[in-house]
Copies of this chain bind each other. A is one copy, B any other.
Amino acid sequence: MKIGYQPIGVVHSPFTEIEGMPIQPSRAKGVSGTAEVFPQYVEGLADLEGFSHIILLCHLHRSRGFRLKVVPFLDTELWGLFATRAPNRPNPIGLSVVCLVDIEQNRLSVKDIDILDGTPVLDIKPYVPEFNERTEATLGWLGSARKRKALSGERFK
């Protein structure tokens, strides 16, 4: 089974290289960028401006292959790939919750963006705490092993 998607837009951000990127929006506080939505989809952006946060699903186009055990950015040990947010995955879909600042026509100004410049956008969803938050969540390896490096290394180049 082969699933085919087409980008609905593209991310513009200050990050042109993987090295030195923030690894998650929560580590990219205040970084501004733009999600440009292709003109044929603009009508679908109506009513989005009322949301303070949106979810960007992106195709991590610089991802190359994957290993099932990886050393994630936040650690120095090997872990199962699906227990990490490492970008090199069988289907390299990135999930970022970003702050929505403004919408002008087909351009969404966002903050706290952790996405590489030129990354294709697959979907935009409103962020709804009821649908996404699990405050009782426990953290697995991240809970005990997190070392809180705020920048990515070169491991995923």
Q: Does the CB pair B137–A127 fall under 8 Å?
A: yes
User: Among residues 57 to 88 in chain A, which have CB atoms less than 8 Å away from a CB atom of chain B?
Assistant: 57, 59, 68-69, 79-85
Give the number of times this chain occurs in the complex, counting copies.
2
Q: A5-B91, A90-B41, A122-B3 are in contact. Are A51 and B129 (CB under 8 A)?
A: no
Q: Does the CB pair B91–A50 fall under 8 Å?
A: no
Q: Does the CB pair A83–B48 fall under 8 Å?
A: yes
Q: A44-B82, A83-B48 are in contact. Are A6 and B90 (CB under 8 A)?
A: yes
**B residues less than 8 Å from A132 (CB atoms):** 95, 97, 132-133
Q: How many Å lie between the Cα of A138 and that of B128 in the bound state?
A: 8
CB contact between A91 and one of B6, B82, B97, B127 (< 8 Å): that residue? B6
- Output the nearest chain B residue to A136 by Cβ-Cβ distance: B52
Q: How many Å lie between the Cα of A143 and that of B91 in the bound state?
A: 33
Q: A81-B44, A137-B53, A140-B50 are in contact. Are A6 and B3 (CB under 8 A)?
A: yes
Q: Does the CB pair B44–A131 fall under 8 Å?
A: no
Supply 11 A–B pairs (Cβ within 8 Å), ascending by A.
Answer: A1-B6, A48-B82, A48-B140, A51-B139, A52-B134, A85-B125, A93-B93, A95-B132, A99-B134, A129-B134, A132-B132
